[in-house]
Amino acid sequence: MRRDEGRDFPWWLVALVAAGLVVAVTVARDPVYARILVTLSRGIGLTLAVTVTAFLGAMVLGLALAVASLSRHLWLRQLARLYVEVMRGVPIIVLLLYVAFALVPLGVAGWNALGLPEVQTRAVPLIARAVLALILAYAAFLAEIFRAGILSVAEGQIEAASALGLGPWLRFRLIVWPQALRTILPPLGNDFIAMVKDSSLVSVLGVADITQLGKVAASGNFRYLETYNMVALLYLAMTVTLSLALRRLETRLRGRGTTR
């Protein structure tokens, strides 16, 4: 890779901004595009809510899996590895359908078998099933990121903290986690951007996100080109914005690391 590649002028960004201006003018002048944008904009909030909620849940489960995979207990390490390998080997859309139409009904049946207040499967919202599936899927990927970040901390620092009398929780909170966080933030950001795109899969359950609203709108107005142009551009706008923010964060972290 050329050394000056990172300093290249971002002509790609200029092209995207120019394309965005063309789209804005088109939407302002073309009532068809304007109506489509109004329809799709109703799904932006739901798309972001699904993404943020699922990613936070995946972070919690992924961190627990990472800690389990580094446990001193063999059975705990093997269980964590089993989960990660299985979830990474199943396509997300298959997992989405399995959770929604197999796992959730099975869980409801088990709940009712315990004699607890009866719950109907249809009472579990489809959006909740979709979020659960994304959590289970992405936790496996985030677990590997967290594990790599924890392993990146020098063993000598952990031993020094132990010598000072710090327990496992304090060692993790004061020594391991602050240093690991700098390593894992960039890949975490990349996975968050990936989840923004993968959240479109919840449309197969009829959840009214951007993709689902686009499908409904196109089936009604038969303007497939215009509708899916807008769907693609909305996702592109979100992912490019997040990608630029992530690059800025990486630059700041790199700068802090070199000044210390």
The DSSP secondary structure of 220-234, one letter per residue, reads: HH--HHHHHHHHHHH
| Residue 125 CB contacts under 8 Å (≥ 6 apart), including other chains | none
Q: Where are the alpha helices (DSSP H) in 164-221?
A: 168-171, 177-198, 210-221
pLDDT score of 244 = 86
* Two tokens, residue 118: 């009866």
CA 207 to the chain's CA centroid: 17
**Residue ranges in the chain modelled with pLDDT below 70:** 1-7, 165, 253-260
pLDDT score of 1 = 46
Residue count (the chain): 260
107, containing H or E segment: helix 104-113
| Residue 85 CB contacts under 8 Å (≥ 6 apart), including other chains | 140
pTM for this one? 0.86
Query: What DSSP state is assigned to residue 207?
Result: -
Are the C-beta atoms of residues 193 and 214 closer than 8 Å to each other? no
pLDDT score of 160 = 75
120, containing H or E segment: none
Domain boundaries, the chain: 24-242
pLDDT score of 16 = 80
pLDDT score of 43 = 92
* Two tokens, residue 157: 């620092």
| Residue 78 CB contacts under 8 Å (≥ 6 apart), including other chains | none
pLDDT score of 168 = 72
The third-level CATH classification (topology) of the domain covering 24-242 is MetI-like fold (1.10.3720)
* Two tokens, residue 141: 């990927």
pLDDT score of 254 = 65
pLDDT score of 131 = 95
3-state DSSP assignment of residue 35 = helix
d(CA 140, CA 62): 6
